[in-house]
């Protein structure tokens, strides 16, 4: 499963956006706290993206070490 990181990011973004929209619409019909949901999604996405970056950097670093030795 070797997909380019940009494609992965696009998939993740579109999935999160769809979920966020659905939730906020449902929330708005009941009360006005719909916008908190999107903030939570953004924060969780940022954290996930940081973890993803760290993992890919570590992988790249290990590969470069193997190549050098």
Kindly provide the b/e burial profile for residues 22-58, where b requires at least 16 CB atoms within 10 angstroms of the residue's own CB.
Answer: eebeebeeeeeebeebbeebeeebeeeeeeeeeeeee
pLDDT for res 5: 62
- Say if CB 11 and CB 52 are below 8 A apart: no
Write the pLDDT tens digit of every residue in 28-67: 444 445 555 667 777 788 888 888 999 998 888 888 887 7
Is 21 a residue whose pLDDT tops 60?
no
pLDDT for res 31: 46
State the residue range of the domain holding 61: 5-68
Q: How many domains does the chain have?
A: 1
């Amino acid at each position: 499963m070797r997909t380019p990181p940009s494609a992965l990011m696009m998939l993740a973004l579109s999935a999160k956006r769809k979920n966020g929209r659905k939730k906020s619409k449902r929330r708005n019909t009941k009360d006005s706290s719909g916008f908190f949901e999107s903030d939570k999604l953004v924060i969780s996405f940022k954290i996930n993206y940081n973890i993803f970056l760290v993992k890919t950097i570590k992988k790249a670093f290990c590969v470069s070490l193997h190549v050098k030795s």
